[in-house]
């Protein structure tokens, strides 16, 4: 029911903006250390991963050098979504030495972060393989990198939840209280945007029953016990999709996936990532 984007909304525009800001942040008025190198010095370099990972971020790296110095040539040895082993050369660079060194950190920051997201997603996808459950990300993303991390999640083999506050209703505890209850909130949602997906977060089986009667498309089970989760799945069968959420990490994922809910969502995909250890080695 969630739209699975092969083309993340605004991805290209977000990418260019993120790279432009990152270069402004790092380079500022100019790279004074790079001035130690003769302006006409040419160099070659290679970027390796020091650990196994799922690669993501090629377009961000390319955009860094496109904005900084289009004369720097990049030769890639992998694609986004590829699983590579430690010490693999991911890509090579050839061009002005100053430009390569000035762009190094910004390019690697994007690549290590997005590869970290994709690597976590690949781990989660493997744990749920064969169950039919879709593993969803959340809006718990790095500010300014929403579309980038959503893309990285797809590269790792998981799926996207809503992209923002604008493309689906997710009615949580505070919305329910402010709107006058689950039934009232769902009715208002149908009036506001009849075609939009309506999801309701519930905290117990009584709220589940109310959300089912209200006609929610998806019901999110927040911190349900395993026993209550099984009961909820039985009650909702054929009436609404079920999403399991709350305290979902790699340690619990396989157990939860075996229950065969429709979705499992986890903020860990994007907010608990560990950047991949990458290294640029230059040959003058």
Q: For 48-102, how does the pLDDT look when each residue is reduced to its tens digit (9 = 90+)?
A: 999 999 999 999 999 999 999 999 999 999 999 999 999 999 999 999 999 999 9
The predicted pLDDT at position 283 comes to: 85
* Residue that the structure tokens 């498309």 belong to: 217
pLDDT in tens, 254-278: 888 889 899 999 999 999 989 999 9
As a whole number, the mean pLDDT across the chain is 94
Euclidean distance between CA atoms 275 and 27, whole angstroms: 22
Is 281 assigned a catalytic role?
no
User: Which position among 44, 83, 139, 172 bears the catalytic label?
Assistant: 172
Distance CA 78, CA 56 (A): 10
Q: What domains, with CATH codes, occur in the chain?
A: 11-125+273-283 (3.90.1170.20), 127-271 (3.20.20.70)
State yes or no: is 222 an active-site residue.
yes
Strand residue runs (E) in the chain = 42-49, 53-54, 73-76, 83-84, 89-96, 134-136, 169-171, 198-202, 218-222, 241-245, 263-265, 278-283
DSSP 8-class letter at 235: H
DSSP strand pairing (134-136 vs 263-265): parallel
Q: Which residues of the chain have pLDDT under 50?
A: 1-5
> How far is residue 258's CA from residue 50's CA, in Å, rounded to a whole number?
34
Q: Is residue 243 annotated as a catalytic residue, yes or no? A: no
Of the candidates 31, 201, 207, 262, the residue annotated as catalytic is 201
Does the annotation mark 207 as catalytic? no
Predicted confidence at residue 271, as pLDDT, reads: 93
Instruction: Give the global pTM.
Output: 0.93
Q: What is the pLDDT of residue 4?
A: 46
């Amino acid at each position: 029911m969630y739209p699975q984007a092969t083309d993340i909304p605004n991805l290209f525009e977000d990418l260019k903006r993120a790279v432009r800001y990152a270069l402004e942040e790092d380079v500022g008025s100019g790279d004074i250390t790079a001035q130690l190198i003769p302006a006409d010095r040419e160099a070659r370099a290679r970027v390796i991963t020091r650990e196994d990972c799922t690669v993501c971020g090629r377009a961000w790296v390319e955009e860094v050098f496109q904005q900084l110095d289009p004369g720097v040539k990049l030769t890639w040895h992998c694609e986004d979504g590829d699983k590579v082993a430690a010490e693999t050369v991911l890509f090579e660079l050839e061009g002005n030495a100053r430009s390569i060194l000035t762009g190094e950190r910004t390019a690697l920051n994007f690549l290590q972060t997005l590869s970290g997201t994709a690597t976590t997603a690949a781990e989660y996808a493997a744990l749920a393989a064969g169950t039919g459950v879709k593993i969803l990300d959340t809006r718990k993303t790095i500010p300014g990198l929403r579309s980038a991390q959503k893309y990285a999640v797809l590269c790792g083999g998981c799926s996207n939840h809503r992209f923002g506050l604008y493309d689906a209703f997710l009615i949580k505890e505070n919305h329910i209280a402010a709107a006058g209850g689950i039934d009232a909130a769902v009715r208002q949602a149908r009036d506001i945007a009849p075609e939009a997906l309506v999801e309701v977060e519930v905290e117990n089986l009584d709220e589940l029953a109310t959300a089912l009667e209200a006609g929610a498309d998806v019901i999110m089970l927040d911190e349900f016990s395993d026993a209550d989760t099984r009961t909820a799945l039985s009650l909702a069968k054929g009436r609404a999709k079920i999403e399991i959420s709350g305290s979902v990490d790699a340690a619990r994922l396989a157990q939860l996936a075996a229950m065969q809910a429709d979705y499992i969502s986890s903020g860990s995909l994007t907010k608990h990532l560990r950047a991949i250890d990458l290294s640029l080695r230059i040959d003058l």
